[in-house]
Structures are given as C-alpha cells and as structure tokens.
Amino acid sequence: MNMDTIQEIRQNGERFLRELNEEFYRNLAGLKKESNISSIYKSYPDLLDPNVFFSHRGVSAKDHDKEKGLKLLRGFLAKSIIETKTSTLKDKILTIETRAEIPLGSRRISYRSASAEIKREPRRKIREEIDEKRCGIALKLNPLFLEALYTTHKTSSELGFLYTNLCDEIEGLNLSQLETNARLFLKDTEYIYRDLLKWFLLKRMELKLQDAKKHDLDFLFNSFELKANFPKRDLLAIARRCLDEMGIEVGENIRLDLERRKGKNSSPITFPIEVPQKIMLVIYPIGGLEDYESFLHELGTSLYYGYRETEDEFEFRRLSEDSSRDVFALLFQHLLLQPRWLRRYLKLDTGSDFIQFLYLKRLMSIRYLSGKLIYEISVHSDEDFKGKAESYRQIMKEAVLCECKEADYVNNVSPFFYTASYLIASAIETELSLYLMEKYDEEWWRTREAGDFILKLWKEGGRITSKEILKRVGFEELSFTPLLRSFQEVFE
C-alpha cells in the first residue's frame, strides 16, 4: 500500500467518523427518532471497499510506531466494512428502539429507559412488569439482531477471517486465555459473592437469593444508602476540584448532555465527534450512585480523547484499542471506591459495610462480564445462533446467581467482543491504580505528578495499547491476580 492510499484513508476516515458519531449521538441521545447511518456508509464506497482492506493486509513497516498505525488502520477498515453490511439492520433497530414505549399504568415509558426505571423502582411487582414488557419488545427485535450476526460472520469470512480470529487480531484479545481467566475468576469468587449477596439481599430487601432476579440486583445496587449518600449535585464541579489538583483541565471541547430525554439511551456513552475539538459526554440521570459512576466513567473516556494532539495523524488521534480507552474510564469511575476520595470530595464518611457493598457491586459487574464473555465465545463458535437462548440463561445465572431473561440472548451480544476488551481494561486498571499509589501517593488523585503521568499517556493517543500500559506500570503479561486480590482485601 502506497502513501497516497494511506493519505486517502486518513482524509475520508476523518469525515466518515465525524458524520457517523454525530448521527449516532443524535439518535442515541433521543434528539432524533429515526436512524440513517446506512446512508453515511453508502456515501464512502471507496473507503469501505473490501479491496482497500485487502491491499492493506500483510503490509508491514520496520518502524514500530508506523506498524502500530497500520494495525489501527486495518482494524478500522475491517470493522467499518462489517458495519457497512449491517448498517441497514442497525437503522431499523435504532429507529424501533427510539420509538418503542412501554405502557405502565397511566403513563408510558421509553423502551430505552426501561433499565433505568428498573434501577429507580422500589416496588418489585412494577420492576417485574417493566422487565416483562421490555422483553416483549426485545423479542420483536431479535430477528434483526440474528440477521446482523449472520451477516457479520459472512462478511468476516469474505475478508478472510473467522470472526473470532478477526477480533483477536484487531483488538489484541487472546480470547482463549481470557476465557480461561474468566472461568477461574468466577470459580475463585463464587463463595464470597454468594455469601455477601445473600446477606445484603436479605438485609436490604428481605429477599432470598434463590428468589432473586436480575432486576432485583439492578435495583439493589443503586438504592438505600447508595441513593441517600449520592444526592443530585454538580458532578462536573466535584470532578474539577479533583482534576485541578492533578493539573488536568476539563476544557470546552468536552460538552455535556445530562438531560433525561424521552428516547435517550440509558447507558452512558461518549461520542468523539471531532477529536480533540468536540467530545460529547452523554448520560441519562436516574439519581444515586449510578449517576456518579456514569459521569466519572465517561469523563475518563472524554478526557482520553480530549487531550489528544490536534496535529497527530488520523490513526493515532481518532483510533485506539477499546481496552486501552476503557482503562482510563474505569480509573476515574473507581475513585468512588476510595474512602479517602469520598471523604475529601463528597464529605462522605464510610464504614466497612458501605465499602463492602460498593465492592460487591463491582464484583457483580465483573462476574456478569465474565459470564457474558464465556457465552459470547460459545455463540461465535458456530452459527447456530437461534439455539443459544437456554445457554444464555444458564451461563448468566451461574455468573450472577440470579435469573436473567432468555429474551436477551442475542441483543446482549456485544460487537467485536467488546466484553472481552472491557474485561482486559478491568484487570489493567487495577494494576494501573496500584502503580499510581506506589509510585506517587496513596492519594495519587491529588498529586500533580500522577496527573502528568496520565496526561503523557493520553497525548500519545492510539499508540498506547493495553500491552503498552501494562509495561509502563511494570507488568509484562496480563494477570487477573491483582483484580482478584483487590476484592479479597476488602472482603477479608
């Protein structure tokens, strides 16, 4: 591949991602009822021609930095070509999701806000009703998700890869080893998770573990003192107090969308529309700890993009591994697990039960992701997608120890094994946090030196892979041991 072709990918890729992120933002933020991403894909036929990917495959560079850039471009092309083939289906899914409503007594709630409403609803009967009606809509969407899965596998094959191998290569996942780690983590944490979850469910909700459903856990972990101790506040002002001590600024390039809007997706998300000039941080506020976690998580992501060098090449300014980005999202989110941070910035004195409860919530999340990864690997091992509903129910119940809805067996499959990337990020973030405490201070989040270290990583953009972060903090190989130990220390 010659430099002219690479330069054309850079120029077209810049416009393409700007238009695509703007369209995704408007739909997922509830500002637009329909989705029209397919027309954006269709307007870039030269960029998304599989022959461009084939001409890029096998090309290497002697320079280590250039080789990283080529890998990022290959991943970008492969993902975009697959997404092109599924874009019409995605339009249909997004449009239905935006318009769908759930009747609830005298009111109607948006399908997209169902999970948020469950986390807010103290009445178990109502939570069950919301979840059942949410599943009814999910079942109607599942044929579209199934068709997208078939198309994804077919397109990946046309590019010369099994889908799992493609994701392994472009995201550096090592899925086989990661599955082993996930299974070991579930085994090593099952006893303490079962014991603590049983205790908190009985104490807080008068509910036996064997009777619990996933919606009960969703409510449990954003209720009681987690709601009372995390009232509605100016979260940006709180974050700025902390960031100022590290020498990190939240600039005007990071724009906030914190409205609770009908049709808005309730999952927090960041849209890098123009990097680093326009980053949209979007959350659907529901009150309680969930808002704090969502905001700090997306702030970490937004800063990660917002501090990239304006003049850097497209591949390093716009692209990155999912796991390396999420390391920083989790680093900022998990400030909420630090008792000293809670005291300093939220004036919140915490007892051991309170911290255990926060860590139990985190443990539930990691176990959920571990189960989800095991399930997703089994889904993509063949193309019998329709026959996986019971497997989903069984695997997820073993992971979180409560009933999960079979209706979610296909819509809950993350594209390009994002679940795996997030698990990798969870393990690395633990090691990064330990490094910051040992290198700078136990309260690293109030030292300028730690801030300088983080800023330096951000300015390198997509060059910083998850493996690079590991090396910078003194580790050669990914390990789940520090992550496991972090729970053991709190639960002892």
Q: What angle do CA 442, 446, 449 make, to 5 degrees?
A: 85
SS3 272: strand
* pLDDT tens track for 250-290: 999 999 999 999 999 999 999 999 999 999 999 999 999 99
Positive or negative torsion for Cα 289, 291, 292, 296: positive
pLDDT score, position 64:
77
Length of the chain: 492
Q: 1, 55 in Cβ contact below 8 A? A: yes
List, in order of start, the domains of the chain with CATH numbers.
175-491 (1.10.1370.30)
Residue 255 and residue 155 in contact, taking contact as beta carbons nearer than 8 Å = no
Residue 190 is predicted with a pLDDT of: 97
Nearest to 457 by CA among 366, 354, 337, 325: 325
DSSP 411-479: TT--GGGHHHHHHHHHHHHHHHHHHHHHHT-TTGGG-HHHHHHHHHHHHTGGG--HHHHHHHTT-SS--
Q: How far apart are the first and last CA of the chain?
A: 57
Strand partners of residue 110: 101
User: Which of 217, 215, 79, 167 is closest to 379 using CA atoms?
Assistant: 167
User: CA quadruple 370, 375, 379, 382: dihedral positive or negative?
Assistant: positive
Quote the distance between the C-alpha of residue 239 and its chain's center.
20
What is the model's pLDDT at position 323? 96
Q: DSSP string of 449-467?
A: HHHHHHHHHHHTGGG--HH
Q: Which amino acid, residue 321?
A: E
So what's the pLDDT on residue 228?
87
Q: How many angstroms separate the Cα of 136 from the Cα of each of 100, 129, 216? A: 11, 11, 19
Give 255's strand partners: 280
What's the CA gap between 259 and 276, in Å, rounded?
23
Q: How many CB atoms lie within 10 A of CB 443?
A: 15
Splitting the chain (492 residues) into consecutive groups of 10 residues, what average pLDDT does each group show? 82 97 98 97 96 78 82 96 98 97 94 96 96 97 97 97 94 94 98 96 95 96 88 95 97 97 96 98 96 98 97 96 97 96 92 90 98 97 88 97 96 97 98 96 96 97 94 92 96 86
Provide the phi-psi class of 280: left if phi over 0, else alpha when psi is between -120 and 50, else beta. beta
Instruction: Give the predicted TM-score (pTM) of the model.
Output: 0.96
Q: Looking at residue 352, what is its pLDDT?
A: 75
Is the Cβ–Cβ distance between 242 and 445 less than 8 Å? yes
| 381 membership: H or E segment, kind and range | none
pLDDT of residue 60: 67
Using an 8 Å Cβ cutoff, are 245 and 448 in contact? yes
Q: How far is CA 382 from CA 79, 153, 154, 375, 418, in A?
A: 20, 10, 12, 12, 19
Rg (CA), the chain: 22
Count Cα atoms within 13 angstroms, Cβ side, for 339.
11
* The predicted structure's pLDDT at residue 138: 97
Token pair listed for 162 = 């099994």
Those residues whose C-beta lies under 8 Å from the C-beta of residue 321, and which sit 6 or more positions away, are 171, 172, 421, 462, 465, 466
CA distance 315 to 480: 30
